[in-house]
Amino acid sequence: MYKEDIIIFLRSVFNALFPKRKGKRGISPVIATILLIALTVSAAAIVYFVVVPLFQTKAEIVQSKMFTLEDTDDDGSFDQATLTLYNLGTGSTTLVETATVKMQSEQYSWEIQGELEFIAQEEKEITCSTDETDKQIPEFTMFQISIEYSGKEFTTANSYSTYSSSSGGSQPEFIIGNLIERDSSDDPASNFPISGSGYSPVLWFIIGQFKDDQGGLMTDNPEDLIALNGYGAQEDYRPYFGITDEFTEGDISDDTNHAILAYNDSEDGDYPGCITFSGSRFDGGDQLNWDDKGIAYMFAYIYNPTDTAMDVDISIQSDDAFMLWVNGDLISASYSTANWNNWVDSNTITFEPGYNIITVRTADNSGNWDAQVLFWDTGTTDDLTLLQNVWPLELVTSI
């Protein structure tokens, strides 16, 4: 419909609504024209800003299931990934022919096999792979996979390549990571808890974020979100490397793909040992890059290879609220924002021979979000350098 046709139509409507009556002056042609122009502009605006967008379609690719890695040439590195993707948008899209595999600061192109076109509301499995050895993902390596489509990019959460027994040799009991020795110069918070140095875990299991983008999380009766998903009490949960537990309850985001994320903080950020979920106040180099407002669980195993129990003092700094357990016992908790930038008063705990687990529930009310744990010698003769920060490769039942 042309502008002239619209004006004629609107004029006829106007004349029908406001007919000339005998003895009364009608609306002047100038005023009528102004009103008609205004009505025309309004109609055009409604068509452009309301009607047109309703008919526009958009695609949105998300990951609908946990992906798998394979070592097809049995050389100890992963050369193939299988992902299940879902187009939850209202329009069709076509994936580009190559995926980008990101490992720390390096990026590599892998070819995508399978049907690249996704219609609206379609779920489909795709495979991406490489034949080049130097582009493969080594075992125990943090990585992401990105795929472009329709000017957008889908990227998986940070993931750790699972142990593969096909690479030869016997499967170890656990993966060892070094505890990080830290002093006040290695800490972005304002009041390091000791004058000397202590130790922080860098190998963590993380799940979240729950209560995605929800504020008002400071409560002294927090909901057990591990139990809500059917995995028992939060303080008794024992994740391990390669666990396949899926978390769908508790308003959880896809930041860890609804699964346990094995996160190595020694390979990420400027302050190893300080896990920063959101913002740059604490460790701007961390690459989790979650939105603020939410809840996360963190689990770190400390393995004592000696036959003697070791007593240590332990403290935590968390922005904002937190709960801290060691071997299932609640050690410390804060349900306010008052200590967001401070290490809390320390408590003495015992690392028994064998496995020990540190469990943290951290909640962010808004803005920057981090959590970190530090422990140090109580003054006894225990050699804390013997302690090992590990990822178990099977369920730990000895704690």
pLDDT band at 365 (very low <50, low <70, confident <90, very high): confident
State residue 323's pLDDT score: 93
**Residue spans in the chain of domains classed CATH 2.60.120.380:** 174-392
Please check the confidence at residue 179 and state whether its pLDDT lies above 50.
yes
Mean of pLDDT over the chain: 81
Read off the pLDDT of residues 194-228 as tens digits, 9 standing for 90 and up: 988 999 999 999 998 998 777 666 666 688 999 99
Lowest mean pLDDT among 59-63, 236-240, 358-362: 59-63
The fold of the 174-392 domain, in CATH, is Jelly Rolls (2.60.120)
Distance CA(270)–CA(198), nearest Å, equals: 17
Pairing of strands 321-326, 329-334: antiparallel
CATH code 1.20.1270 for 61-161: no
CB 68 within 8 A of CB 80: no
State residue 190's pLDDT score: 72
Read off the pLDDT of residues 116-158 as tens digits, 9 standing for 90 and up: 999 988 888 999 999 999 999 987 777 889 999 999 998 887 6
**pLDDT-above-70 percentage for the chain:** 77
Lowest mean pLDDT among 50-54, 241-245, 250-254: 50-54
pLDDT band at 282 (very low <50, low <70, confident <90, very high): confident
**Residue spans in the chain of domains classed CATH 2.60.40:** 61-161
Read off the pLDDT of residues 257-269 as tens digits, 9 standing for 90 and up: 899 998 888 766 7
Q: Which two tokens stand for residue 347?
A: 């408590």
Q: How does DSSP assign 177-210, residue by residue? A: EPPEEE-GGG--SS--SSSS-EEE--EEEEEEEE
Which position has the higher pLDDT, 84 or 229?
229
Q: Which two tokens stand for residue 337?
A: 């924002």
Q: What is the pTM of this model?
A: 0.63
Which position has the higher pLDDT, 164 or 322?
322
